Each structure stands twice: as C-alpha cells, then as structure tokens.
Structure 1
Amino acid sequence: MSDIVLQRHDKVLQIGLNRPAKKNALSQQMYRELTAALAQAATDNSINVVLLQGSDNCFSAGNDLQDFLGAGELNAQHPTVQFLYQLAQFPKPIVAAVAGLAIGIGTTALLHCDLVYAADNSRFQLPFTKLGLCPEAGSSVLLPNLAGYQRAAQYLLLGEAFDAAQAEQMGLVNQVVGQHDVLSLALEKATALAALPADAVQSSKALLKPQQSMTLQTIANELVQFQRLLNGAECQQRIAAFFQR
C-alpha cells in the first residue's frame, strides 16, 4: 500500500499522507508521488482544488532523515527539490488539514497553501538550526512576510515549537477546531472553493502571490546553503546524535 493516498471528491483531489509508523515522515518515494499528483492535478481541468491532510494525530514529522541523506545532492533531479518547486508553483488552491505534529517541511509546506485548518492538538516546529541546517521551501522569506521578522526569527533561528493558537494568531492557520473535526471542515471549505469559477479563483490566487519569482529564487538560495551545511562536520555530528537518541 502506498504511503500517499489519493481520493476524489468531485472537483477536489484529496492527498493523504499515510505512513503512521514513521509519523508521516516524508520519504523520497513519497516526494515523488506528491510531485506527480500535483503535476497531474495542475493540468486536469476536472480538478479545481487540492486538499492535503495527514492523520488525526500527526500531519508530518518532516523529512525521513535517513532516507533523505541517502538521496544524494540537492540538485534538480532530487525528489525533495522537485516537490518544493512543484508546490511553490502550483496554480490551483491548496487547502490543508493539520493535526498533531507538523515538523520541518510539515510546517514550511503550509506556507504555500491557500487555506490551512488546524486541530487544537497541532504542534508546529522548524528545528533546522538544531540540526545545523538552514530554512527551506522558501520559508526564510515567506514566514517573515507572514508573521514579521522577530516572530519568524523566534521560530527559524531558535527553532521553538508553537501551538495551533499561536499559528492562528500569526496567520499561518485560518481556523482551529477539534482534531476530529478538522478534516471535515477542510473538505467543506475545499468543496466550496471548488464550486466557484475555476478561472476566477486561479487568477485571483496568482494576483495574491505576485512575489512568486522571489519565492522561487529564495528556494534556490536556501538549497545552496542547505547543501553546504549538510556537508559540514557540525551538521553531521548533530544528525548522528539525532539517530542515537
């Protein structure tokens, strides 16, 4: 069974992360499947909205580090890199339903979503510096633009965790509900969005994101620094310590 589950709800494509044994940590195969699903949805006129969700207890614990480290250089062929660019350029609305842990890419991916609904048990964290790494997915520009520099520095430099109420306060999350209600709410909003004229919605999304070229350049800049840091001794030591916990 695939760790990525696709379901159709009329004009909504629901993409589910389904790797509970690993807390939905993203493997390279999952990145490939996510990229393929988004690429297909981008050109399929019968799909107006994508709904991204995890489980009731965990959205995603981030990268599967062991799998990620074995995938080679962060170049254009790397599955993670391909996913980042596909997500950043996706032309149709993405609605996210988040519950439980949203760590690393589990949080930065939300910065590219158009509507985010979170359960009250959600816990977000961007622990890049704790691993000797830097931000990714354009978060070094998207998070300051959303939350202000000082708040972004708190989460990207110190790597402090934050809860659903804090995420809603900063604008990362649209609404907080109970963990058993978050998926139904997100699907309700995605369905309402999908019922609107698709051209008007997609044109409006493009107008709402005039900084896309800056975001793409930021992703490229982050990848250069991420690769450099990943190759460094300090990062290697911290990752080794992570695996020994």
Structure 2
Amino acid sequence: MASVEQQRQAGVLTLSMQRPEKKNALDQAMYQQLADALKEAATDPDVKVVLLQGQDDCFTAGNDLQDFLTGGELNQQHPTVRFLYQLAEFPKPIVAAVAGLAIGIGTTALLHCELVYATADTRFQLPFTRLGLCPEAASSLLLPQLIGYHRACEYLLLAEPFDGETAERMGLVNRLVPKAELLAFANEKARQLAALPAQAVQTSKRLLKANQQEALHYTLREELNEFQQLLQSDECKQAVQQFFRRG
C-alpha cells in the first residue's frame, strides 16, 4: 500500500515515501499525506526541520501517471496542488536525501528545499515536454534562477536526464554522499539544523526567499493553469499512450 511514513526525533520530522514496488511513484493518497504532514508541521513548535526521503536506492519516479490522469481537475483542493503550495510556503527548513530516481516532482520539489544530499548515480529528469506537458512546482522560474536560462532549457525543453555529479555542479545538490551513508548523513545534517535557534533559522529562510515570493506564487498559478489545459490536449494523450506502451 502506498504511504508516507512519519517519524519525529530531535526536532526532525522525517517523511519517507514508501512505495518501492512502484519506485515511490506518487499517487493522490501520498500527495494528500505529504500535504497534510507539511501543513501540520508548519505550526508544530516541536518540528524544527523536515527531512524528505525515499529509500537509499530510490527517491521518487514522480507522478503515478495512471492515478494522476484520473485525479480530477487541478484546483486548490487537489492533493497534488495542495502539496505544491504547502511545499512552496513551508516556513521551516527542508532537507532532502535523494538516490536512484528523482523524476518530475522528484527533481522540482528539490528547488524548494534548503539542503539536498544525493548519490552520484542519481538519475534526475524533468520529462514534462515528452509527456505533452509543461513545467510545474514553479520550476520554470526557479530552475533558470539556479542554473541559467540556456541550461534550464536543456532540461525543461529537451527533458534530458542528468546525474548527481551534474546536479552538484549546477548547485541543485549540496553534496554527493555514498549510497550506504546517504540517509544517515542527511539525518545528521537535519539534526544539526534542528539544534540551532529555531526563530533565527526560520527568519533567515524567510529573508532568503523574500524577494521571490510574489513571482513564485504567480508562476505556480500560471503553470497549473497551462498544465490543466495541456492535460486535455491530443498531444498529451498520445504521449501518455506511448509512455504506457513503452512501460
């Protein structure tokens, strides 16, 4: 059964995606669990940091397409939309431990994290155009800011995959960690962050992100509007059919 497991220890809320038989592909139930967990953690004084992870051999293969395509309109109550907004507005630091696959939301979610640790052989990919879709999670804003316009086009338009070493060079990943050490390393960094004065850390995060908040919310809305339109297009339907035939 697809689920997101929660563990609280030393001020760190660990959210572990647990659907290994589907490479942690996110269905609506998992998005709902992630959104609810972030909403609660945002105001819980005992939670200082969130650690987002899968297993040491897989972060997430992205959306469960079959589930996503039958999930209804992308309105504010849709679990995926709720998660995107909770992630973008979360006031506390988020640490991510990334290995194996980080596809679609598995990459774009990292643009909202403060610290990201990954393995060298992690496969990152933003396959939206290949599916007849457009970027999401404000990645059309945040990725060019991080790596420059032309390099962002390489990944958002051509949808070319890249590995952990490339992700580290572009600044998407803070540090590469051996697979056997990844989860423990990320947990230790999250604990170090949680041990610092919470108000100072959260104020610092807010100041770091202050100049992009208006543009971030605008981009989230525009991407979702365009994404919804493209979902209904013949191009998207044909691309998804090809995806399932290949799978």
For 2:229, give the aligned amino acid. R
Matches within 5 A, 1:163-242: 163-210=163-210, 211-242=212-243
Matches within 5 A, 1:34-183: 34-183=34-183
Per-residue deviation, 1:142: 0.2
Partners of 1:5 and 1:44 in 2: CA distance: 18
For 2:75, give the aligned amino acid. N
For 2:48, give the aligned amino acid. N
Unaligned runs of 5+ in 2: none
* 1:70-121 alpha-carbon deviations (Å, 9 max, x no partner): 1111111111001000000000000000000000000000000000000122
* 1:100-150 alpha-carbon deviations (Å, 9 max, x no partner): 000000000000000000012211000100011000000000000001111
* 1:147-172 alpha-carbon deviations (Å, 9 max, x no partner): 11111000000000000010000100
Structure 1 residue runs of 4 or more that deviate by more than 2 Å after TM superposition: none
TM-score (norm 1): 0.98
Partners of 1:201 and 1:177 in 2: CA distance: 24
CA contact (8 A) 1:119 1:181 kept: no
Identical amino acids, percent of aligned pairs: 64
Q: SS at 2:179's partner residue? A: coil
Per-residue deviation, 1:212: 1.6
TM-score (norm 2): 0.98
Partners of 1:182 and 1:207 in 2: CA distance: 29
Per-residue deviation, 1:56: 1.3
Partners of 1:114 and 1:145 in 2: CA distance: 15
Partners of 2:77 and 2:43 in 1: CA distance: 21
Could you say which residue in structure 2 is the equivalent of 1:21? 21
Partners of 2:128 and 2:60 in 1: CA distance: 15
* 1:173-220 alpha-carbon deviations (Å, 9 max, x no partner): 000011111111111110000000000000000000021221111010
Moved more, 150-159 or 1-10: 1-10
Partners of 1:216 and 1:21 in 2: CA distance: 34
CA contact (8 A) 2:2 2:29 kept: no
Partners of 2:152 and 2:38 in 1: CA distance: 28
Could you say which residue in structure 1 is the equivalent of 2:3? 3
Residues paired across the two proteins, number: 245
Partners of 1:121 and 1:37 in 2: CA distance: 29
Per-residue deviation, 1:59: 0.3
Structural RMSD (CA):
0.8
Q: SS at 1:180's partner residue? A: helix
Q: SS at 1:60's partner residue? A: coil
Partners of 2:214 and 2:83 in 1: CA distance: 17
